[in-house]
Amino acid sequence: MATYVSGFINDLSAVKDNIKLRVRIVRSWMQDVYGRPGLKNLELVLMDEQSTKIQATMRMALVNGFKHKVEEGSAVTLSRYSLGEIQPKYRMLNKPLRLSFLSNTIIEPCPDFTGSVYGFDFRPIHTITNLHQEEDGQFDVIGHVVASDFLDNYDKNGRSGKKKPLTIADADGNELRCTLWGVYAQQFQDFVDACQNRGKIILILQFGMMKIWDGKMGVQNGYNGTRLFLFDGHESIPKEEFMDVELYRLRLFADKDDAKSENTASRISTQSKHSTRDEFVNKLQVKQIVELLDVDQGKASVIVGTIIAIHEEEGWWYLGCRKCNKKVVKESHIVDLEAETKPKFGYQQTPDQWRCSKCNMIVTGIKTEFRLQIRVQDESGTISLSLFNDEVQAMVGRSAYQLCEKYGCKKAEDQDFPKEITNLVGKKYAFKVSIDEINAKKMLPVFTVLRLTNDADIMNSIVVTETPVKDTGASSSAVPAITPLDLESQTDENTTPVEMESEYQRTISLSLFNDEVQAMVGRSAYQLCEKYGCKKAEDQDFPKEITNLVGKKYAFKVSIDEINAKKMLPVFTVLRLTNDADIMNSIVVTETPVKDTGASSSADLESQTDENTTPVDKQRSAKRASDGEPESDGSSIKKQLLEIKMEKAATQD
């Protein structure tokens, strides 16, 4: 009969398993057995009074009988067990042995256990960052959180979840990239949301693992077993089991001033590219909106203006490629117009695969991104600006993924605008903007926002350096209160692509559907797609048959429904149209004349919205279904809607 003797984990060997161990259950979790679906074992990390750890496993058949005796955090004595070897790639710990519970294993409480509660064994950050190759095993790391990105989602290899990239630093200033996934990402986000002062957050990642990103070594939570501890460094940590953490806190923040702490807090709360005073005030030239088109393409300028409207039709979020950030589309949504028959196996085999519109390849990882187009106004005019992910995050204080989660946006078509975005209307910002060649050629140029700030001191400094504008006694920073139909031209002779017919004009947005556009261009949407090689829904370069419509005059029969009337920029639907000269001459004769007050000027630009027309209405106007193209598989990608600006003279020559 074997005799059991008291000992420690370091006394164990393949031929010496008759040792009665006193251990604490540091960690326990259920884990799938590789290659055996539906089978789960209980995995544990045990620690003795010398703080030595060993992995242990309990077969699924034994779990119900033993699980109440091995609760996490409890201390027990163990005897009658078996020892096996763990292959290096499956090791959480450096020790090659694994303890296996048997059906006759003896488990008894150990109330006089004197060892540590958690057994932290922190690895210095520099010993991780100096490596160029990942090491097997898991370890503990501690640091001060100095930056974090917004909570994001991931979709990789058929698995989806949450992701939180962080940067932690030690007392010597060594920084380490740390990525939290799944429940650990949500745990950190919940802690930050509840933390009033985010400048001194201490993070402990117990049983983390190494991972190289972009050639730099970092850490992340493991697939199983990892535990995350978070502390507010502004407060003492009185619990005895965290005494080492308290000593670390005192050493870490001994000579850290509040200014550095506040700077760290801002990096954690937003992690956006906040503009500095030097760049906005000193390095870049300040322009008024009417001057932007005179700036060279690719050259950045600064404008200060108020957001007066949001372009609803452009949406506010999309699914992007993790490599290039461009939009991704499902393979099943791509139609090849050149293919005479459908693929042999159809799309049923890969319905959920995503293809990047830029990389033109299947991607395994996607992310939720912001893209927002707004109208901004200053004293001189109004311009359209495009804002991308980082800038919108800085404005709304949430990631696109968080807003999609909050409002149940699961498909790309779910573009109802959340209040966090509609509340931007009426707010004033300084924007660093530029325009590229493609956007400069658009009929209505759109500038890209590179950075932004709403810091009052910076904006006041920018205003001081602007070219002074004469005070006519009617200037005001408030948005003029006019009705949505009282839309005045935002261009003059130097900026509009169409030669003005009079000094003062009014504009309106009209929506034309299939039959009306076909009557104007003399071709079907399918024919134009064939002619210009438009094979995907993203191929939206305008053909000359459509751009040639600019400058032409028509008579339109129009109406507006309740949904479109509530939009910030109301859109009327064209029911019929004609360019018959006799008909239009007859219409002109019956028009109600508009008095010319002689005081109108193209420089007197007024807002196109007021308080009654914002925020964005959360419904979309219903589109009329166009007729299908006979005997053609390509009819599904017809461009069914073309929205153009048609100008109507408000004064008579």
Q: What is the structure's pLDDT at 62? A: 95
Q: What confidence tier does 440 reach under pLDDT thresholds 50, 70, 90?
A: confident
Q: Is pLDDT above 50 for 640?
A: no
Q: Is pLDDT above 60 for 550?
A: yes
Question: What gap in Å lies between CA 83 and CA 104, rounded to an integer?
Answer: 14
Which pairs from 461-467 meet CB under 8 Å and 24+ separation? 461/277, 461/280, 461/281, 462/280, 462/281, 462/286, 462/302, 462/304, 462/430, 463/304, 465/281, 465/286, 466/286, 466/288, 466/304, 467/288
Average pLDDT of the segment spanning 558-566: 81
Amino acid at 641: L
Percent of the chain with pLDDT over 70: 74
> Helix 400-407 and helix 389-396: axis angle, to 10°?
60
Whether 281 and 206 share a structural domain: no
Whether 166 and 245 share a structural domain: yes
Lowest mean pLDDT among 28-42, 306-320, 389-403: 389-403
Whether 221 and 297 share a structural domain: no
| Cβ–Cβ under 8 Å, residues 299 and 285 | no
Domain hosting residue 250, numbered range? 125-254+262-267
Q: Which helix (H) or strand (E) holds 47?
A: strand 40-48
Q: Which helix (H) or strand (E) holds 344?
A: none
Q: What is the structure's pLDDT at 163? A: 87
Q: Is pLDDT above 80 for 482?
A: no
| Cβ–Cβ under 8 Å, residues 256 and 250 | no
Question: What gap in Å lies between CA 492 and CA 503, rounded to an integer?
Answer: 8
DSSP category for residue 163: E
Q: What is the structure's pLDDT at 568? A: 61
Average pLDDT of the segment spanning 296-308: 90
* Assigned domain for 115 exists: no
Q: What is the structure's pLDDT at 589? A: 55
Whether the bond into 343 is cis, omega within 30 of 0: no
* pTM attached to this predicted model: 0.48
Distances (CA, A) of 339 to 125, 311, 525, 530: 56, 36, 18, 12
Structure tokens, 337: 């117009």
Whether 143 and 60 share a structural domain: no
Q: Is 346 exposed, middle or buried (0-12, 13-18, 19+ CB in 10 A)?
A: exposed
* Assigned domain for 327 exists: no
Q: Is pLDDT above 70 for 629?
A: no
Q: Is pLDDT above 90 for 596?
A: no
Whether 158 and 300 share a structural domain: no
Most confident region among 38-52, 79-93, 597-611 by mean pLDDT = 38-52
Average pLDDT of the segment spanning 639-651: 39
Whether 308 and 444 share a structural domain: yes
| Cβ–Cβ under 8 Å, residues 424 and 374 | yes
Q: What is the structure's pLDDT at 10? A: 93
Average pLDDT of the segment spanning 538-545: 83
Percent of the chain with pLDDT over 90: 31
Q: Is pLDDT above 60 for 72?
A: yes
Name, in order, each residue with C-beta under 8 angstroms of 613's C-beta and a sequence gap of 6 or more. 484, 566, 567, 568, 570
Half-sphere exposure for 495 (CA within 13 Å, toward CB): 19
Last residue within a domain, chosen from 429, 464, 499: 464
Q: What is the structure's pLDDT at 156? A: 65
Question: What gap in Å lies between CA 560 and CA 508, rounded to an integer?
Answer: 12
Average pLDDT of the segment spanning 280-307: 88
Q: Is pLDDT above 60 for 425?
A: yes
Q: Is pLDDT above 80 for 598?
A: no
Closest of 417, 383, 408 to residue 315, by C-alpha: 417
* Assigned domain for 515 exists: yes
Q: Is pLDDT above 80 for 41?
A: yes
Strands 5-7 and 19-32, bridge-based pairing: parallel
Whether 70 and 179 share a structural domain: no
SS3 per-residue string spanning 552-603: CCCEEEEECCHHHHCCCCCEEEEEEEECCHHHHHHHHHHCCCCCCCCCCCCC
Pairwise pLDDT comparison (630 vs 54), residue with the higher score: 54
Average pLDDT of the segment spanning 510-521: 90
Domain with residue 12: its CATH number is 2.40.50.140
Whether 294 and 402 share a structural domain: yes
Whether 207 and 104 share a structural domain: no
| Cβ–Cβ under 8 Å, residues 453 and 295 | no
Whether 435 and 575 share a structural domain: no
Q: Which residue has the tokens 């499902």?
A: 330
Using one digit for the tens of pLDDT, what is the confidence trace for 233-262?
A: 888 998 988 998 999 999 888 755 554 454
Whether 193 and 247 share a structural domain: yes
DSSP 60-117: HHHHHHHGGGS-TT-EEEEEEEEEEE--GGG-SSS--EEEEEEEEEEEEE-TT--S-S
Q: Which helix (H) or strand (E) holds 406?
A: helix 400-407
Q: Is pLDDT above 60 for 498?
A: no
| Cβ–Cβ under 8 Å, residues 228 and 184 | yes
Task: Encode burial over 506-541: b for 16+ CB neighbours within 10 A, e otherwise.
Answer: ebbbbbbbbebbbebbebbbbebbbeeebbbeeeee
Question: What gap in Å lies between CA 231 and CA 200, rounded to an integer?
Answer: 8
Q: What is the structure's pLDDT at 155? A: 66
Q: Is pLDDT above 60 for 623?
A: no
Q: What is the structure's pLDDT at 355? A: 83
Q: What is the structure's pLDDT at 379? A: 87
Q: What confidence tier does 636 reach under pLDDT thresholds 50, 70, 90?
A: very low
Last residue within a domain, chosen from 464, 479, 494: 464
Using one digit for the tens of pLDDT, what is the confidence trace for 146-179?
A: 888 877 777 666 677 888 989 998 888 888 999 9
Lowest mean pLDDT among 139-148, 258-267, 482-491, 522-531: 482-491
Last residue within a domain, chosen from 588, 605, 640: 588
Whether 161 and 202 share a structural domain: yes
* Assigned domain for 17 exists: yes
Question: What gap in Å lies between CA 537 and CA 329, rounded to an integer?
Answer: 10
Lowest mean pLDDT among 263-277, 431-445, 620-634: 620-634
183 Cα distance to chain centroid: 19
Most confident region among 368-382, 494-508, 564-578 by mean pLDDT = 368-382
Helix (H, G, I), strand (E, B) or coil at 288: coil
Closest of 460, 462, 457, 577 to residue 513, by C-alpha: 577
Pairwise pLDDT comparison (424 vs 148), residue with the higher score: 424
Strands 139-148 and 97-109, bridge-based pairing: unpaired
Question: What gap in Å lies between CA 270 and CA 262, rounded to an integer?
Answer: 12
Average pLDDT of the segment spanning 589-606: 44
Q: What is the structure's pLDDT at 185? A: 92
DSSP category for residue 270: T
* Assigned domain for 326 exists: no
Distances (CA, A) of 436 to 298, 299, 343, 442: 5, 9, 39, 11
Mean pLDDT of the chain: 77
* Assigned domain for 348 exists: no
Q: Is pLDDT above 50 for 639?
A: no
466 Cα distance to chain centroid: 34
Q: Which residue has the tokens 């100096």?
A: 130
Most confident region among 418-432, 481-495, 561-575 by mean pLDDT = 418-432
Question: What gap in Å lies between CA 390 and CA 111, rounded to an integer?
Answer: 54
Q: Which helix (H) or strand (E) holds 405?
A: helix 400-407
Lowest mean pLDDT among 9-18, 172-181, 357-366: 357-366
Q: Is pLDDT above 60 for 419?
A: yes
* Assigned domain for 641 exists: no
Distances (CA, A) of 523 to 1, 519, 543: 96, 8, 11
Lowest mean pLDDT among 31-35, 85-89, 94-98: 85-89
Structural domains counted in the chain: 4
* Assigned domain for 384 exists: yes
Distances (CA, A) of 223 to 29, 92, 138, 183: 11, 11, 11, 11
Q: What is the structure's pLDDT at 109? A: 96
